[in-house]
Amino acid sequence: RKEVEQDPGPFNVPEGATVAFNCTYSNSASQSFFWYRQDCRKEPKLLMSVYSSGNEDGRFTAQLNRASQYISLLIRDSKLSDSATYLCAVNILTGGGNKLTFGTGTQLKVEL
């Protein structure tokens, strides 16, 4: 079983739609959680850190469910510019320090 799993998509949605991504992780010792956005041939850029209490940044809402070991990202009123790959990432504490492990990424295409 992969340490971090995501539906690879693609998710094709019309502009203005609400879209939700989920990500599950297998290691209960995971410490911290993130959503990154990656555009084609670019580096991952931090979108949001994810907390159990949930956090919101404009049209984006992230949630962590430690009991069920999943994290989610909700994008409301999607824009064409939201088209990208969304990577969830989980920090797992090991003997050498924290290791950030990424899910496979979910591709989002927002269309007119």
Q: Identity (one letter) of the amino acid at 1?
A: R
Residues that bind another protein (CB under 8 A): 31-32, 34, 41-46, 49, 87, 91, 93-94, 96-105
Q: Which is nearer to another protein, 60 or 102 (CB)?
A: 102
What residue has token string 């949605």?
Answer: 13
Q: Which is nearer to another protein, 80 or 100 (CB)?
A: 100
To another protein, the closest distance from the beta carbon of 22 in angstroms equals 16
Measured distance CA(5)–CA(84) in Å, rounded = 18
To another protein, the closest distance from the beta carbon of 87 in angstroms equals 6
- Residue 30: CB partners within 8 Å, gap ≥ 6? 69, 90, 91, 92
